[in-house]
């Protein structure tokens, strides 16, 4: 049973380190472009500034406009706490907790879309429709990836299915989960987090009318979600359970850094895809995870 101090340390780890990842991605993009770029800690400064600002509310918005970002933030942090951190295990794990993690991610998306629709804005409605349409295929890929890990290990908890590597399907799973990471976190080629053209935005279109602390909660929750998928990807394909504790922690941190650098390189070297091309790429991610499931199933049958 985890002590209260251990739980607080894990929570602080997720809350404090998560905003560092977008800063590292921006640094990689600036390095590739030959620019200096913003500071790595820029998101920390932005969050501190937003917490000091007041909230501007639309005349059409109900109290749900403020409540939804808070619920989404709690859902994302709760999903993150379910993930094991190498040899340290998980903070809130139990048998079947992987299902709760999937539902918490879905709840966070629902609340983000709900808050966007509260404003009655056509642009935020467009962003919400695009977000939900992407989720149809990304959630299918996530479920296929989770099933492949469950079949490969015979477990139903995150602590059990993420202990070993994904076996022969590790490369397939890595490709599928990395594509899902890009889509779920609204990165290039699915979305451009730096764009300000309303007609082409997805995630940014949904938060146009947010300000102050609710916007800070949304931005911080997005960074937690990015870190969650990075940790999930690394632990799904790297056999951390076979390493010594210190080496496992180093491999986990190094793996997350590799994922972050990979996201920065993808955003630097690829252009955003047209909307009609996005379903094909998400279908490819689903097929990669599905093939990983088939490999795990046939390997176990053998």
CB atoms within 10 A of CB 156: 15
Distance (Å, rounded) from C-alpha 10 to C-alpha 12? 5
Task: Look at 92 and 34; give whichever has higher pLDDT.
Answer: 34
CB atoms within 10 A of CB 126: 18
- Verdict on whether the full-model pTM lies above 0.85: yes
pLDDT at 193: 84
Q: What is the DSSP letter of 198?
A: G
Q: How many CA atoms lie within 13 A of 132 on its CB side?
A: 15
The residue-averaged pLDDT of 85-114 equals 92
Distance (Å, rounded) from C-alpha 71 to C-alpha 104? 10
pLDDT at 299 > cutoff 90: no
Distance (Å, rounded) from C-alpha 147 to C-alpha 247? 28
Tokens of residue 201, six digits? 């935005």
pLDDT in tens, 23-61: 999 999 999 999 999 999 999 999 999 999 999 988 888
Residue 155, φ and ψ in degrees, nearest 5: -105, 165
Rg (CA), the chain: 19
Three-state SS for 31-94 is: HHHCCCCCCCCHHHHHHHHHHCCCCCCCCCCCCHHHHHHHHHHHHHHHHHHHCCCHHHCCCCCC
The residue-averaged pLDDT of 104-123 equals 94
Kindly report the average pLDDT of the chain as a whole number. Answer: 91
Distance (Å, rounded) from C-alpha 208 to C-alpha 301? 51
pLDDT at 2: 55
Distance (Å, rounded) from C-alpha 293 to C-alpha 143? 10
pLDDT in tens, 197-244: 766 788 888 998 999 999 999 999 999 999 999 999 999 999 888 889
What is the band of 182 on the pLDDT scale with cuts at 50, 70, 90? very high
pLDDT at 96 > cutoff 60: yes
């Amino acid at each position: 049973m985890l002590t209260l101090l251990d739980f607080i340390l894990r929570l602080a780890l997720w809350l404090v380190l998560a905003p560092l990842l977008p800063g590292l991605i921006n640094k990689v993009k600036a390095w590739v472009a030959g620019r200096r770029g913003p500071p790595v800690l820029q998101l920390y400064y932005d969050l501190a500034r937003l917490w000091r600002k007041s909230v501007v509310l639309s005349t059409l918005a109900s109290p749900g406009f403020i409540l939804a970002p808070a619920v989404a933030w709690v859902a994302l942090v709760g999903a993150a706490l379910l993930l094991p951190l190498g040899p340290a295990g998980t903070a809130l794990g139990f048998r079947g907790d992987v299902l709760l993690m999937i539902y918490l991610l879905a709840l966070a998306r629902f609340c983000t879309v709900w808050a966007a629709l509260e404003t009655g804005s056509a642009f935020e409605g467009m962003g919400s429709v695009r977000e939900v349409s992407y989720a149809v295929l990304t959630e299918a890929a996530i479920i296929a990836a989770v099933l492949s890990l469950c079949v490969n290990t015979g477990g139903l908890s995150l602590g059990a299915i993420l202990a070993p590597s994904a076996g022969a399907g590790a490369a397939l799973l890595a490709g599928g989960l990395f594509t899902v990471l890009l889509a779920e976190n609204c990165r290039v080629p699915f979305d451009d987090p730096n764009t300000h053209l309303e007609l082409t935005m997805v995630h940014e279109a949904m938060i146009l009318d947010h300000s102050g602390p609710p916007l800070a909660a949304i931005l911080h929750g997005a960074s937690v979600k990015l870190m969650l998928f990075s940790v999930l990807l690394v632990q799904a394909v790297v056999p951390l359970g076979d390493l010594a504790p210190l080496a496992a922690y180093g491999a986990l941190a190094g793996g997350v850094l590799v994922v972050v650098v990979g996201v920065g390189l993808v955003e630097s070297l690829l252009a955003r895809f047209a909307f009609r091309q996005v379903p094909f790429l998400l279908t490819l991610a689903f097929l990669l995870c599905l093939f990983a499931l088939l490999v795990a199933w046939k390997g176990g049958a053998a």
